[in-house]
Amino acid sequence: MKEYNFDKIIDRKGTDSLKYGICQEIFGTTDIKPMWVADMDFETPDFIIDAIKKRLSHPILGYWEYWDGYYDSILWWMRNRHNWTIEKDWIIFSPGIVPALGLCVMIYTEKGDDVLVQSPVYHPFYYAIESQDRNIIRNSLVEKDNSFEMDFEDLENKLKKGVKLMLLCNPHNPVGRRWEKETLAKVAFLCKKYSCILVSDEIHADLTMPSFSHNPTFTSAITEEEKANIITLMAPSKTFNIAGLTTSEVIIPDLRLRKKYIHYMHKILHMYNGNTLGAYALEAAYSEKGANWVDELRQYIQFNINSMNDVLHNKYPKIRTYNHEATYLPWLDFSAYGYTHRELTHKLAFDCKIGLNDGMIFGKEGENKMRINVALPKSELLKALDKLDYL
């Protein structure tokens, strides 16, 4: 039985929402339906709001420390949702996944080192590297049969030349791939073989489509040495629409790598823990109730993707869709219209009045492509798609 109502339309204009608030800066207009940043137009579930309210019923919000229930909820979630048994000691707080990506680059590499990404990829991966004067090495994903694959020959050739760190996106944003165990095992093998630390951003782990389950990179790796070379980044933020609570977890099983990370967090940044409300939200999210909510959400997103694909295939067949396995952010190809990329972005924003993520921010592979956010009520999604008439 369905318990949650994802059809509910909530007006976010004039609130502090980034998605709605900075359209002028992003698109050059405020007259636009924002379907860009990975933030959902669904309510944060009531059991999370209740947990925050409960904490607020105590009048002091002073310094605090983690309690057993916080850790237990993370252990429970990893075991029950991702079939991964982790240890409490492996968990380190992070205010977000992007800060953790930046810190990994800072801690484990030096200026001038090579850091590898698989393009097109979530744009802050590039910023984490180039803003710290490291070199971006691109191992482009290859389009095949309406999907994307890794190019292992190219990956090995690049790793061989001394890449120090690889930032892996698993599941992959923006191409919507849920990587298979064998694929991940190969990546872990190659990284270990060429002494390249593997950082696996798994923020979208909970958001696979209902017929797919997520494969953590750690559990996909074969040997203990390969596993020890992996750092995993996870969070309830994307899953439960609580990014504003800036609460994520970095999971580092290897003691040597973990000590280095903790040294930076504790001694240099003096960052032991985050926001107490975020921790209570995390505890409420990583629960039986959270699991039920996410399963309903995943179904709703799948329905939205099916509905979108129906509309695109029937009414706008020039827009190419891809097989979509994870995230609420499908990748679309508009090449068949024959517009330049500039014309395309202008037409989408000013004629169609829909605000999609410009494909080029994810890398040059994103030319004539866009990323659409379908985490919104279906009626709103269909209304927005109708505006593609003006393309």
Binding-site ranges for ligand PLP (CB under 6 A): 38, 96-98, 122, 169, 173, 201, 203, 235, 237, 243, 248
The closest residue (CB) to ligand PLP is 96
Shortest separation between residue 99's beta carbon and ligand PLP, angstroms: 6
- Which C-beta is closer to ligand PLP: that of 108 or that of 122? 122
Question: Which tokens hold the place of 331?
Answer: 């990748």
Shortest separation between residue 327's beta carbon and ligand PLP, angstroms: 7
Residue pair 222/193 in contact by the 8 Å Cβ criterion: no
- Which C-beta is closer to ligand PLP: that of 174 or that of 253? 174
Shortest separation between residue 175's beta carbon and ligand PLP, angstroms: 11
- What phi and psi, each to the nearest 5 degrees, are found at residue 157? -60, -40
Shortest separation between residue 291's beta carbon and ligand PLP, angstroms: 21
- Which C-beta is closer to ligand PLP: that of 277 or that of 388? 277
- Which C-beta is closer to ligand PLP: that of 173 or that of 220? 173
- Which C-beta is closer to ligand PLP: that of 203 or that of 344? 203
- Which C-beta is closer to ligand PLP: that of 167 or that of 354? 167
Alpha-helical regions (H) of 117-248: 124-130, 152-160, 181-193, 217-220, 224-228, 237-240
Strands (E), the chain: 33-34, 91-94, 114-117, 135-138, 142-144, 147-149, 165-169, 197-201, 230-234, 248-251, 320-321, 331-333, 354-355, 357-358, 369-371
Shortest separation between residue 118's beta carbon and ligand PLP, angstroms: 12
Shortest separation between residue 122's beta carbon and ligand PLP, angstroms: 4
CA distance 184 to 226: 11
Residue pair 203/97 in contact by the 8 Å Cβ criterion: yes
CA distance 294 to 346: 35
Residue pair 23/34 in contact by the 8 Å Cβ criterion: yes
What end-to-end distance do the CA atoms of the chain give, in Å?
Answer: 40
